[in-house]
Amino acid sequence: MEETPNITGGLAGLLGLTFDEVGADRVVIRWTVRPELHQPFGIQHGGVYCAVVETAASVGGTIWLGGRGRVVGVSNQTDFLRAVRDGELTAVGTPVHRGRSQQLWQVEITDAAGRLVSRGQVRLQNLSES
């Protein structure tokens, strides 16, 4: 496993994210849907999906870029495909493109039955540390 950025606090901690795999080519995150993460109609809030998609992409992109700089998200496009009220969800992020100035990551979120519930992509800007 690659050296992991500090990812246990902040929003990741509030959401209760568990990082099962963290690397430059793949990031796997799990969390449990609970009432505190619901929108008013009792299902997982779409903002949680967006946050997890961006987290997976940013962590993987940061590890890939390494000491050459840091990354910031410039675009997050996340689709919500299936309503979820409870249970465990898993997000798997993989790179689509990694270039000199930008990266594009895709993240798929599935439920315990393996059904796709959300899918997103994040474009990251690579910033040099000069």
The structure tokens 């568990």 sit at: 18
Sheet holding 18-22, edge to edge: 18-22, 27-33, 87-98, 102-110, 116-128, 69-80
Catalytic one among 2, 3, 54, 108?
54
Is 3 in the active site?
no
DSSP category for residue 44? B
Q: Which residues are catalytic?
A: 54
